Amino acid sequence: MKLFYAPGACSLGIHVLLEEIGAPYEAEAVDLRSGAQFKPEFTAVNPKSKVPTLALDEGAPLTEYPAIAYYLAATYPAAKLMPAAGEPMARAIEATDFCVSTMHMQGFSRIFRPANFAPSEGDADAVKARGAEIFDKGLAVMEKALEGKDWVAGEFSFADTALFYVCYWRAARLKLPLPERVAAHYARMLARPATQRAMVAEGLA
Ligand SMILES: N[C@@H](CCC(=O)N[C@@H](CS)C(=O)NCC(=O)O)C(=O)O
């Protein structure tokens, strides 16, 4: 399999999962800044022009963070990335969807790409402020969700990498603080050898 990623993008979380698993994989950087995601070489792999994209050894490439994370956890059970069926699994899906669909797509996307949300450049500051508000509310939700827990679903699972990448953006890119339990979760993620290997591979460490 082959991961298409951009250094420090949301694909970092999938990179961590691949390192947790330890099965052989290739990784290819896509230069989002120069628009490589829109070039035919990449759209032939993923017409959505997005990373993460996971090219499988057989079949169509897999896209969308939650689907790729679920696929990896289900395909490599020995890595213990899949929570137990029932509430732990539901909590993992709930958190992954919230981090990707709300904190990332509605919050951070407004901060990093205001032009995608406003027709006029003059609205950019208001769009960014709304993005920050959505993200801050998301952090508060995750702070509550981590009450009494080290990991999102109780035990470490695929969901923790989704929370990790949005926290990486906040802490390392925006250099803003995280609330207490979320900060402790972020520190636990940074301490994992798999996270460290993925960050070195992406030139972030
Ligand atoms: N819904 C997608 C979102 C992926 C996404 O937005 N990826 C960003 C990087 S963090 C991207 O590829 N952006 C390129 C672009 O929008 O041109 C997922 O869950 O994987």
At 118, which CATH number?
1.20.1050.10
DSSP 116-148: GT-SSGGGHHHHHHHHHHHHHHHHHHHHHHTTT
Which is the closest atom of ligand 1 to the Cα of 32? 14
* The two structure tokens encoding residue 115: 């032009």
pLDDT digits (tens, 9 = 90+) for 61-91: 999 999 999 999 999 999 999 999 999 999 9
Cα of 95 vs centre of ligand 1, distance in Å, is 18
State whether 121 and 156 are in the same domain. yes
- The answer to the question of residue 50 being in a domain is yes
* The two structure tokens encoding residue 64: 């969308």
Contact by Cβ (8 Å): 101, 133: no
Structural domain total, the chain = 2
Average per-residue pLDDT for the chain: 97
| Greatest extent of the chain over all pairs of C-alpha atoms, in Å | 52
pLDDT digits (tens, 9 = 90+) for 83-122: 999 999 999 999 999 999 999 999 999 999 999 999 898 9
- Percentage of the residues of the chain whose pLDDT score is greater than 90: 98
Of 80, 115, 134, the position where a domain reaches its end is 80
In this predicted structure, the answer to whether residue 56 has a pLDDT above a threshold of 90 is yes
Of 56, 80, 104, the position where a domain reaches its end is 80
Cα of 205 vs centre of ligand 1, distance in Å, is 22
> Residue 119: its pLDDT value, please?
83
Range of the structural domain that residue 174 is part of? 87-192
For residue 48, CA distances in Å to 62, 144, 202 come to 11, 34, 22
Nearest to 63 by CA among 74, 47, 82: 47
State whether 73 and 116 are in the same domain. no
State whether 67 and 101 are in the same domain. no
Q: What's 27's domain CATH number?
A: 3.40.30.10
pLDDT digits (tens, 9 = 90+) for 148-185: 999 999 999 999 999 999 999 999 999 999 999 999 99
List ligand 1's pocket residues with C-beta within 6 A.
6, 9-10, 32, 37, 49-52, 64-65, 100
